[in-house]
Amino acid sequence: MQLAQLNIAQAKYPLDDARMKEFTDNLEPINAIADASEGFVWRLIGESGNATDIQVFSDPNIIVNMSVWSSIESLKDFMFKTHHRDYLRRKQEWFHTIENANYVLWWVEDGTIPCVNDGIVRLEHLRSYGDSPYAFSFKVPFSA
């Protein structure tokens, strides 16, 4: 089994706004770190080379990111032990706080590439019912 994750963020400004430049200019380098990370399997990529141009919500400032990893530990290592961590710490500069869950984790069969809609359904399930084997967070991780 492999770990799928989907996260969303609501940008404070349009992505082409000068106030978002530092974030958008660093998408490629951060994605390159993810791609080279141990345990990385796949990430959602649109025509822009990242997922920011994939419109899932009616609000164009809500962006989606989705990836698959070999384990919870490999995803955590990328998120918290690489340069990605520095951008997580600064997310309030670019993104509104989302009061309910803004990410979800779930297990998929090896080689499965999940669709964005599946991730959204699981995020809504997590928001409605809390952590379960179907949809969970880092706070209450479920084993494969």
Residue 144: pLDDT band with limits 50, 70, 90: confident
Q: What is the pLDDT of residues 4-23, one digit of tens each?
A: 999 999 999 999 999 999 99
C-alpha span between 22 and 24 (Å, rounded): 6
The pLDDT value given to residue 124: 97
Q: Is the pLDDT of residue 91 over 90?
A: yes
Q: Domain 2-129 falls in which CATH fold?
A: Alpha-Beta Plaits (3.30.70)
Q: What is the pLDDT of residues 26-63, one digit of tens each?
A: 999 999 999 999 999 999 998 888 888 899 999 999 99
Strand partners, 68: 4, 42
| DSSP string of 94-131, one letter each residue | HBPPPSS--EEEEEE-TT----HHHHHHHHHHHHHH-S
pLDDT, mean of residues 124-129 = 98
Q: What is the pLDDT of residues 98-120, one digit of tens each?
A: 999 999 999 999 999 999 999 99
Strand partners, 40: 69
**What's the pTM?**
0.93
Is residue 88 helix, strand or coil? helix
